[in-house]
């Protein structure tokens, strides 16, 4: 059965679906012992981590919210011990009642659940300014870049985007969107549509292990910080930027970002936030996207590249989605690119938590990303002295190298080398990563 859930599914996970009879923990298994292209997490716990004591790692889940009452998540939620529920900012951080995290899509009485696509917002915002332009050279130099964005938006409009969008966020949130310093808006409610997505992502990273319920997350010593920035539609750059900053300022060491869009009108806000996370030693794990395209030439935002030049952020890993077997190793929906995408990770039929104590397998780079975030948290918890840059190095250098041709997404069966689809040419391997972390830790 294929299921699509609103604009969020189209924007983030167009091939999200329920699989038939999945192996519920296949992404935790090993190529050598199980003949499955999993991550080796089960083997790592059995052979490498037994008898060792981890240190708790905080992972921020920038997403559509989390079911904070879920039986498999509530024990592993981050808690702001200096705050209490209610309309008072006890700890003085500017966010009232942020006990479990923050909702940047909240208003005084509710929250934004649905939004337009970014191309729709840009097209109609600047239509009157640019629709009669015949020659770009007639525009002032400062307007030409904006005009190019408008043309891109116009080209990518769909039929359902052909009417002016309702400004749901503006009606509800009521901040000054153009001012990044206007940051104390929103509310503390992490639950409500479309929190199914963030609940699933959170479970992959850190659902309680060994409790006999549902499934096991990857990291056993983790606290999940919920930060709501993604509505059922395209996220706003300002919310993403402030979400990253909130995560960093409140102690997150790893940030999971299972979202993205085709255009980023306020990209500098996000880049400045990524730079801030880099300065503070925080690792960001980012989804490559689900359009089956080469994101070296058709960017997916947030991008791992600086706005100027071809340099990449040293604290960011971009993730494509893979499957269980050699025959179906590359998910047909996954974006790819040997410059932009760093690694692939299991992202097909990943069984994890959904709201109201439910569980289902879902597919997408949205699922592959928390697999990598979970591995990063697992490494960090047992080797806390390792930096964000070292975690990135370890994860990338220990992939299971794929030495056979794989099927390129949306290519009608064309076979290519794995190194044409991602920088490392491989699938993440938690077992090998922990072995390298042990060696690196001893060398420090």
Per-residue pLDDT reduced to its tens digit, 343-390: 999 999 999 999 999 999 999 999 999 999 999 999 999 999 999 999
Those residues whose C-beta lies under 8 Å from the C-beta of residue 400, and which sit 6 or more positions away, are 31, 37, 426, 427, 428, 429, 432
Is residue 177 in a domain? Answer: no
**To the nearest 10°, the Cα dihedral for 159, 163, 166, 170?**
100
Same structural domain for residues 380 and 406?
yes
- State residue 160's pLDDT score: 87
Q: Examine the pLDDT at 1 and tell me if it is beyond 60.
A: no
Task: Examine residue 321 and state whether it is found in any structural domain, yes or no.
Answer: yes
Determine whether 176 is an active site residue.
Answer: no
Residue 172 falls within a domain, yes or no? Answer: no
Q: How far apart are CA 122 and CA 154, in angstroms?
A: 9
Q: How confident is the model at residue 7, as a pLDDT?
A: 32
| Residues 90 and 218 reside in one and the same domain | yes
Is there a contact between 222 and 56 (Cβ–Cβ < 8 Å)? yes
375 φ/ψ angles, rounded to the nearest 5 degrees: -65, -40
Q: What pLDDT is stored for residue 308 in this prediction?
A: 87
For 319, list phi and psi in degrees, rounded to 5.
Answer: -125, 130
The model's pLDDT over 243-278, given as tens digits with 9 standing for 90+, comes to 999 999 999 999 999 999 999 999 999 999 999 999
Token pair belonging to 89: 């900012």
Q: Is the pTM of this model over 0.85?
A: yes
Largest CA distance in the chain: 70
Q: Taking 60 as the threshold, does the pLDDT of residue 214 lie above it?
A: yes
Amino acid 154: pLDDT? 95
Judge if 84 and 126 occupy the same domain: no
- Residues facing residue 56 across a β-bridge: none
203: CB partners within 8 A, 6+ apart: 70, 72, 73, 214, 215, 217, 352, 353, 359
Instruction: Determine which one of 27, 30, 63, 363 is catalytic.
Output: 63
- Answer yes or no: is 170 within a domain: no
Q: Averaged over 152-169, what is the pLDDT?
A: 92
CATH number of the domain at 419, please. Answer: 3.40.50.200
Same structural domain, 131 and 76: no
31 and 159 in a single domain? The answer is no
Residues 260 and 123 in one domain: no
What confidence category does residue 5 fall into, taking pLDDT thresholds of 50, 70 and 90?
very low
pLDDT at res. 444: 75
Is the pLDDT at 2 greater than 90? The verdict is no
Q: Which pLDDT score, from 0 to 100, does residue 442 have? A: 86
Measured in whole angstroms, how far is the alpha carbon of residue 315 from the centre of its chain?
Answer: 14
CB atoms within 10 A of CB 248: 21
Residue 10 scores a pLDDT above 60: no
Domain end marker among 136, 165, 194? 165
Catalytically annotated residue among 27, 197, 200, 300:
197
Higher local confidence (pLDDT), 328 or 192: 328
Q: What is the pLDDT of residues 55-100, one digit of tens each?
A: 999 999 999 999 999 999 999 999 999 999 999 999 999 999 999 9
Neighbours of 376 (CB within 10 A): 31
Residue-wise DSSP of 125-142: HHHHHHTT---GGGS-HH
Question: Is residue 342 flagged as an active site residue?
Answer: no
Q: What pLDDT band is residue 13 in, cutting at 50, 70 and 90?
A: very low
Domain range for 30 is 6-115+184-443
Has residue 3 got a pLDDT over 80?
Answer: no
User: Rounded to 10 degrees, what is the CA torsion of 146, 149, 151, 156?
Assistant: -160
Whether 174 is in a domain gets the answer no
Gap between the Cα atoms of 339 and 73, Å rounded: 35
Catalytic residue among 334, 363, 366, 381: 366
Residue 159 CB contacts under 8 Å (≥ 6 apart), including other chains: none
Q: Is residue 278 part of a domain?
A: yes
Burial of 48: CB neighbours in 10 Å, binned 0-12, 13-18, 19+: middle
Residue 150 lies in a domain: yes
Same domain, 288 and 324: yes
Q: State the total domains in the chain.
A: 2
For residues 109 and 233, membership in a common domain is answered with yes
> Could you read off the pLDDT of 16-30 as tens digits, one per residue?
433 334 579 999 999
How many percent of the chain have pLDDT more than 90?
A: 90
Tens-place pLDDT, residues 407-438: 999 999 999 999 999 999 999 999 999 999 99
- pLDDT value of residue 86: 93
Same domain, 63 and 138: no
Q: Residue 278's pLDDT is what?
A: 98
**Within this chain, do residues 384 and 276 fall inside the same structural domain, yes or no?**
yes
pLDDT-derived band of residue 161, with 50, 70 and 90 as boundaries? confident
Which is it for the CA torsion 91, 105, 16, 424, positive or negative? negative
DSSP element (H, E) containing 61: strand 57-63
Per-residue pLDDT, averaged over 186-192, amounts to 94
Bond into 78 cis (ω within 30)? no
Q: Is 366 a catalytic residue?
A: yes
- With contact defined as beta carbons under 8 Å apart, do 228 and 64 qualify? yes
The answer to whether residues 56 and 131 belong to one domain is no
Strands, E, within 185-276: which ranges? 222-228, 254-257
- The answer to whether 324 and 336 have CB atoms below 8 angstroms apart is no
pLDDT of residue 16: 42
Q: CA-to-CA distance for 64 and 79, rounded, in angstroms?
A: 18
Residue 385 falls inside a structural domain: yes
Tell me: do 190 and 126 sit in the same domain.
Answer: no
Beta-sheet strands, E only, within 64-122: 101-103
Say what the pLDDT of residue 184 is.
Answer: 96
Tell me the average pLDDT of the chain. 93
């Amino acid at each position: 059965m294929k299921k699509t859930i609103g604009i969020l599914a189209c924007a983030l996970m167009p091939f999200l679906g329920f699989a038939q009879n999945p192996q519920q923990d296949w992404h935790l298994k090993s190529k050598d012992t199980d003949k499955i292209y999993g991550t080796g997490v089960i083997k790592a716990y059995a052979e490498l981590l037994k008898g060792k004591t981890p240190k708790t790692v905080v992972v921020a889940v920038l997403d559509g919210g989390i079911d904070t009452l879920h039986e498999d998540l509530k024990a592993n939620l981050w808690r702001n011990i200096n705050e209490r529920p209610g309309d008072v900012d006890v700890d003085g951080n500017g966010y009232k009642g942020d006990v479990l995290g923050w909702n940047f899509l909240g208003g005084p009485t509710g929250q934004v659940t649905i939004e337009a696509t970014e191309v729709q917002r840009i097209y109609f915002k600047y239509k009157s300014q640019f629709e009669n332009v015949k020659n770009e050279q007639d525009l002032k130099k400062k307007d030409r870049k904006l005009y190019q964005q408008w043309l891109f938006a116009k080209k990518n409009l769909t039929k359902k985007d052909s009417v002016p969008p309702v400004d749901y966020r503006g009606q509800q949130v009521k901040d000054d969107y153009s001012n990044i310093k206007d940051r104390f808006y929103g509310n503390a409610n992490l639950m409500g549509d479309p929190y199914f997505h963030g609940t699933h992502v959170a479970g992959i990273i850190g659902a309680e292990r060994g409790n006999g319920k549902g499934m096991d997350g990857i990291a056993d010593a983790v606290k999940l910080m919920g930060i709501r920035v993604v509505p059922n539609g395209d996220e706003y750059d300002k919310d993403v930027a402030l979400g990253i900053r909130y995560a960093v300022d409140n102690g997150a060491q790893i940030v999971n970002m299972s979202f993205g869009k085709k255009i980023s009108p306020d990209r500098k806000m996000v880049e400045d936030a990524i730079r801030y996370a880099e300065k503070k030693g925080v690792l960001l794990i980012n989804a490559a996207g689900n359009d089956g395209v080469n994101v070296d030439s058709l960017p997916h935002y947030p991008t791992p590249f600086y706005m100027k030049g071809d340099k990449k952020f040293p604290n960011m890993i971009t993730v494509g989605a893979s499957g269980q077997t050699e025959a179906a190793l590359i998910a047909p929906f996954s974006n790819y690119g040997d410059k932009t995408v760093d690694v692939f990770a299991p992202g097909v039929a990943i069984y994890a938590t959904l709201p109201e104590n439910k569980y289902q397998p879902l597919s997408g780079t949205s699922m592959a990303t928390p697999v990598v975030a979970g591995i990063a948290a697992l490494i960090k918890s047992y080797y806390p002295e390792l930096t964000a840059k070292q975690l990135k190095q370890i994860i990338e250098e220990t992939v299971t190298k794929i030495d056979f041709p794989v099927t390129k997404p949306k290519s009608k069966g064309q076979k290519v080398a794995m190194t044409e689809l991602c920088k490392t040419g491989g699938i993440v391997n938690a077992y090998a990563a922990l072995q390298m972390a042990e060696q690196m830790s001893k060398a420090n």
